[in-house]
Amino acid sequence: MKRRSLALALTAGLAVAATAHAQELTGTLKKIKELGAITVGQRESSIPFSYLDDKQKPIGYAMDLCMKVVDAVKSELKLPNLKVNFQPVTSSNRIPLLQNGTIDMECGSTTNSVARQQQVAFGPTYFVINVTAAVKKSSGIKSLANLGGKTISTTSGTTSVPLLKKYEKTAKIDVKEIYGKDHAESMQLLATDRSAAFIMDDILLAGQIANQARPGDYVILPESLRQEPYSMMLHKGDAQFKALVDKTVGGVMKSGEIEKIFAKWFLNPVPPRGINMHFQMTPPIKAAFANPNDQGVQ
């Protein structure tokens, strides 16, 4: 009986230890718990994903999804008064700031690529875009092949640059590249005729055009350099936090709530100027919502 009681006691003890171990916080969640704060990396001009409104408050489609994650963290850690800090990031510094711990997650218009997965992790795909170009209607440019010998603008640190270079080699065209520090600056290079085209993701081009004084002066070319998935960036190797993000964002998609959030930002007027992009949900986006995944593009 004593041996049996001892065995039962050891079994019970191991069970308790296993449960305690399973609940032990690691990585990002441990850091957030210790600091009582989470730092979200946000963009300043990635309309309508992550940008500043007229009161300099970070808003957007990606921000709404990230705040769902923040709410899940509050619940998971039992920290209803969790402090939420926002850190502006750019295309060039978003990965370094995540890697060095300045931010806990990045919420913007970031492409999930196999190459980037060597440095960071990603949550479920929440948007799918086509990389193409915006030009002025008066330019006479009808296709990417017409860019030969012209100056094009794109945003520093984005995937558009290597894609365009690859296209240059394939199409045997030669272009001069100039870079904007963010999408707004890249668009202004086109608006002020310092570039003949702005190479970027179609939805970001649509957002920038919608915010110009004369949106009707521009057109987005129908060609596509590549189709890319957007997602929020997370720390690589942090399985515990990623599991929470996957469960939270995947739940929003599976419940159908994602359709309301999508309509809010792409089918209705958005602040600060009340612009409506009338961007319908495409088949690839619908597929991503139906089967949440973190697959990166090659």
Q: How sure is the predictor about 3, in pLDDT bands with cuts at 50, 70 and 90?
A: very low
Q: Are 218 and 258 within one domain?
A: no
Say whether the peptide bond before residue 48 is cis (omega within 30 degrees of 0): yes
Task: Choose one of 171, 192, 226: the last residue of a domain.
Answer: 226
Residue 252 has pLDDT above 70, yes or no: yes
Residue 159: per-residue pLDDT: 76
Residue 22: per-residue pLDDT: 52
1 is a domain residue? no
Q: What is the pLDDT of residues 266-290, one digit of tens each?
A: 999 999 989 888 888 988 999 999 9
Q: Are 113 and 244 within one domain?
A: yes
Q: What is the pLDDT of residues 164-183, one digit of tens each?
A: 778 876 777 888 999 999 99
5 is a domain residue? no
DSSP string, the chain: -HHHHHHHHHHHHHHHHHHHHHT---HHHHHHHHHTEEEEEE-SEETTTEEE-TTS-EESHHHHHHHHHHHHHHHHHT-TT-EEEEEE--TTTHHHHHHTTS-SEEESS-B-BTTGGGTEEE----EEEEEEEEEEGGG---SGGGGTTSEEEEETTSTHHHHHHHHHHHHT---EEEEESSHHHHHHHHHTTS-SEEEEEHHHHHHHHHTSS-GGGEEE-S--SEEEEE--EEETT-HHHHHHHHHHHHHHHHHTHHHHHHHHHHSS-BTTTTB----PPPHHHHHHHHS---PPB-
Compute the average pLDDT of residues 98-109: 97
Q: Are 141 and 83 within one domain?
A: no
Task: Choose one of 226, 257, 275: the last residue of a domain.
Answer: 226
Residue 6 has pLDDT above 80, yes or no: no
157 is a domain residue? yes
Residue 93: per-residue pLDDT: 96
Q: Are 270 and 167 within one domain?
A: no
Q: Are 85 and 103 within one domain?
A: yes
Angle, helices 239-255 vs 283-290, to 10°: value is: 120
pLDDT above 90 coverage of the chain, percent = 73
2 is a domain residue? no
Q: How sure is the predictor about 234, in pLDDT bands with cuts at 50, 70 and 90?
A: very high
Q: How sure is the predictor about 50, in pLDDT bands with cuts at 50, 70 and 90?
A: very high
Residue 171: per-residue pLDDT: 73
Q: Distance between CA 188 and CA 243 in Å, rounded?
A: 40
295 is a domain residue? no
Residue 46 has pLDDT above 60, yes or no: yes
Q: Are 40 and 93 within one domain?
A: yes
Q: Are 159 and 200 within one domain?
A: yes
Of 233, 225, 61, 55, the residue nearest 129 (C-alpha):
225
Q: What is the CATH number of the domain that holds 201?
A: 3.40.190.10
Q: Residue 156 is part of which domain span?
A: 130-226
Residue 115 has pLDDT above 90, yes or no: yes
Residue 7 has pLDDT above 50, yes or no: no
79 is a domain residue? yes
Q: Are 155 and 215 within one domain?
A: yes
With contact defined as beta carbons under 8 Å apart, do 209 and 202 qualify? no
297 is a domain residue? no
Residue 15: per-residue pLDDT: 40
Q: Are 159 and 22 within one domain?
A: no
Name the more confident of 170 and 261.
261
Q: Are 18 and 122 within one domain?
A: yes
Residue 77 has pLDDT above 80, yes or no: yes
Task: Choose one of 226, 248, 268: the last residue of a domain.
Answer: 226
Q: What is the pLDDT of residues 194-217, one digit of tens each?
A: 999 999 999 889 889 988 999 999
Q: What are the phi and psi torsion angles at 179 (to 5°)?
A: -115, 140
Q: Are 140 and 196 within one domain?
A: yes
**Total structural domains within the chain:** 2
Residue 123: per-residue pLDDT: 98
Q: Are 110 and 180 within one domain?
A: no
38 is a domain residue? yes
